[in-house]
């Protein structure tokens, strides 16, 4: 396996695929190689294939994002959901410096990693946000009204109950709590995301409550976060009308889309499809799921 990485480290493929982003990606590769296994960013078996499995695989999404944005404007916005170690969000930010890329990640230690990478690579167009995707979605004013009405009823009728029961979320076993626990558990993925205990209200990782983070985005991306049945509900509400979900997926992408058809439609998604995404000449293609937002 070591030969694979040795060949790619000196390969013209890197410059061919990454272009001007090669310099920051070399620094990114070096940081992953030095710290990635110890900090849980990659597994030990990935040390020799960082370029192929993580960086170039993430870069395969860049042409799809670029085509969708069709603009060099600084106002173009991309949200990368469950950024984890920075795949594909960090790679996107390096390859598309004209776009604002918001790296959304709930897990504190990964937020710390992402902010270090952003700082060390001098990615001025990247912002790290510690939140869960479902907490980032804009809330309907009608939902807020309903919530306020329910809240006032709870205060009138549930005061004694709240005094008798423990206030710890994980100490209560009503149906809503169990649903919340299952929802937190569902955010664990192959990149090691774990939102348990993270309330998603910490704001930016650099402690800057940046008001420029938009409520909706032109493009939402993700890699290995969740099946499409869940991903549709987490990501499509973050898109503006006319925006697009662009998700890196494996060989089961079409089966996932078929299962998620109702959820996609419910979230105002349309024209879901799977596209082959070239990684580099001589390397296996990956798959990209595209869903448009009405």
- Cβ contacts of residue 121 below 8 Å, gap of 6+? 24, 27, 28, 90, 94
Predicted pLDDT of residue 214: 84
- Give me 26's structure tokens: 């070399």
Domains annotated for the chain, with CATH where assigned, are 62-138+191-293 (3.40.50.150), 145-186 (no CATH)
pLDDT given for residue 162 in this prediction: 37
pLDDT for res 198: 33
pLDDT of residue 136: 87
Distance of CA 215 to the CA centre of its chain: 15
Q: Which residues are annotated as a binding site?
A: 82, 87, 133-134, 223
The whole-number pLDDT of residue 114 equals 98
DSSP symbols for the chain: -HHHHHHHHT-HHHHHHHGGGHHHHHHHHHHHHHHTTTTTSS-GGGGGGHIIIIIIHHHTTHHHHHHHH----TT-EEEEET-TTTTTHHHHHHH-TTSEEEEE---HHHHHHHHHHHHHTT-TTEEEEE--HHHHSPPPHHHHHHHHHHHHHHHHHSHHHHHHS---GGG--SHHHHHHHHHHHHT--TT----TT--S-SEETTS---TTS-SSEEEEEEESS--HHHHHHHHGGGEEEEEEEEEEE-TTHHHHHHHTHHHHHHTTEEEEEEEEE--STTS--EEEEEEEE-
- Using DSSP bridges, classify how beta strands 239-249 and 217-223 pair: parallel, antiparallel or unpaired: parallel
Each residue's pLDDT expressed in tens, for the chain with a length of 294 residues: 344 455 798 899 999 999 999 999 999 999 999 999 999 999 999 999 999 999 999 999 999 999 998 755 667 899 999 999 999 999 999 999 999 999 999 999 999 999 999 999 999 999 999 999 988 877 755 544 444 444 444 444 444 333 333 322 223 333 333 333 333 333 334 344 443 333 333 334 433 455 568 889 999 999 989 999 999 999 999 999 999 999 999 999 999 999 999 999 999 999 999 999 999 999 999 999 999 999
| pTM of the shown model | 0.77
The annotated binding site for S-adenosyl-L-methionine is made up of 82, 87, 133-134, 223
- Give the whole-angstrom CA distance, residue 239 versus residue 69: 13
Helix axes 22-35, 108-120, angle to 10 degrees: 140
């Amino acid at each position: 396996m070591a030969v694979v990485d040795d060949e790619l480290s000196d390969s013209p493929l890197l410059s061919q695929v990454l272009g001007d982003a090669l310099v920051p990606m070399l620094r990114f590769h070096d940081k992953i190689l030095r710290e990635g296994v110890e900090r849980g960013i990659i597994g030990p078996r990935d040390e020799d294939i960082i370029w192929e499995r993580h960086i170039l695989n993430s870069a395969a999404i860049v042409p799809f994002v670029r085509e969708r944005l069709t603009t060099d404007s600084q106002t173009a916005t991309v949200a990368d959901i469950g950024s984890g170690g920075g795949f594909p969000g960090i790679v996107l930010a390096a390859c598309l410096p004209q776009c604002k890329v918001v790296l959304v990640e709930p897990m504190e230690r990964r937020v710390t990693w992402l902010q270090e990478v952003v700082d060390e690579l001098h990615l001025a167009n990247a912002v790290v946000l510690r939140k869960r995707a479902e907490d980032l979605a804009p809330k309907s004013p009608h939902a807020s009204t309903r919530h306020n009405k329910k809240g006032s009823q709870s205060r009138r009728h549930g005061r004694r109950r709240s005094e008798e029961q423990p206030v710890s979320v994980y100490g209560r076993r009503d149906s809503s709590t169990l649903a919340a626990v299952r929802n937190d558990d569902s955010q664990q993925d192959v990149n090691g995301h774990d939102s348990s205990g993270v309330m998603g209200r910490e704001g930016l990782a650099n402690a800057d409550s940046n008001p420029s983070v938009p409520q909706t985005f032109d493009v939402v991306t993700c890699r290995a976060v969740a099946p499409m049945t869940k991903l549709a509900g987490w990501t499509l509400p973050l898109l503006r009308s006319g925006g697009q979900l662009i998700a890196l997926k494996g060989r089961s992408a079409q089966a996932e889309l078929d299962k998620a058809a109702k959820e996609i439609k419910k979230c105002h998604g349309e024209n879901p499809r799977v596209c082959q995404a070239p990684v580099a000449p001589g390397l296996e293609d990956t798959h990209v799921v595209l869903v448009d937002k009405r």
